[in-house]
Amino acid sequence: MSQNKPTIDFGFAEVPLEEKVKKVKGVFDSVSSNYDIMNDVMSMGVHRLWKRHTIELSGIRPGNVVLDLAGGTGDLTKEFAKRVGKTGRVVLADINESMVRVGRDRLINAGIAGNVEYTITNAEALAFPDNTFDVCTIAFGLRNVTNKDKALEELYRVLKPGGQLMILEFSKVTQPLLAKFYDFYSFNILPKMGKLIANDEDSYQYLAESIRMHPDQETLKQMMLDAGFDKVEYLNMSEGIVALHRGWKY
């Protein structure tokens, strides 16, 4: 009977469906304290530019209500909170408690308080009413979600009509030469850096593998359309190393 159990990818490995959440939690529990440093080292600081670009394209304004799903250490929440002001609200949501704790401490230390809420939630079952948010973002989080279709449906549900979902995620490199270098970097250098900086080679090996298992630009676009989004477009950044998918609910 056990052979018939549904499985799902966890990096390049196949694990029982219900195991993935636990395993992903394990990875992020392990990397949370060094997450920001590792992001800077891994992307050579470019992740800040990708995030800045995302914020720019959000078109956010004072009074907006924003969901930063898989918000982790709060990079996007910090900028959104500055922009929505006292009349707006930002919800930093993550399935991983240790990441939320790191994010909360970091934002409070940066003087961001009053218009930010923190919640631990599963992307596949968002604990918010329908039509709540003007903007929803999920940055470098969707690839860790077990049932991505369900998560996209949930994000569609909680968006207000006219609202925008922004998915910032590693994607398929469009430049063949860069793709070869990127593969070498991901599977040979990145885990070693993980070991050196965070003393955790396996977690960074998983991060590299999960990026390769994530749907490419066109597939994710179709998944968003299937989830109900009325208009979807994507923007490749750094030759497709990262893609920003934007979906609107009308």
Partner 1 sequence: MSKQPGLVNISLSKTIESVLNTAIRLDEEQGQAFKGLEDKVIKVTLTPVTSPVYFLFTSYMVSVQNQLTGEPDAALECTLFDFMSLPLNRTLPTSLMEGDTDLAMQFIDGLCGLDIDWEEHLSHYTGDLVAFKIGHGIRSFFEQKQTTKNNLGETVKEYLQFEINALPTQSQVKRFVQQVQQTQDEIDQLALRIEALLTKT
Contact status: 76 vs partner 1 (CB under 8 A)? no
Taking CB under 8 A as the criterion, the residue among 30, 32, 58, 73 binding partner 1 is: 58
Stretch that binds partner 1, among 2-10, 51-59, 122-130, 215-223 (CB under 8 A): 51-59
Stretch that binds partner 1, among 54-62, 89-97, 212-220, 221-229 (CB under 8 A): 54-62
Task: For the segment 178-237, give every residue that binds partner 1 (CB under 8 A).
Answer: 233, 235
Contact status: 53 vs partner 1 (CB under 8 A)? yes
Taking the complex as a whole, the smallest distance from the CB of residue 103 to partner 1 amounts, in Å, to 17
Stretch that binds partner 1, among 25-33, 78-86, 116-124, 195-203 (CB under 8 A): 78-86
- Judge contact between 62 and 90, C-beta under 8 A: no
Quick one: DSSP state of residue 174?
S
Distance separating alpha carbons of residues 231 and 224, to the nearest angstrom: 9
- Judge contact between 54 and 76, C-beta under 8 A: yes
Question: Which residue stretches of the chain are H helix?
Answer: 19-31, 35-43, 46-58, 75-84, 97-109, 148-158, 176-184, 190-198, 201-213, 217-226
Give whichever of 14 and 233 is closer to partner 1, judged by the CB atom: 233
Structure token pair of residue 187: 């599977």
Contact status: 100 vs partner 1 (CB under 8 A)? no
- Tell me the torsion sign for CA atoms 118, 121, 124, 128: negative
Structure token pair of residue 193: 């850096």
**Rule CB under 8 A: which residues touch partner 1?**
49, 52-53, 55-64, 79, 81-87, 111-112, 134, 162, 164, 233, 235
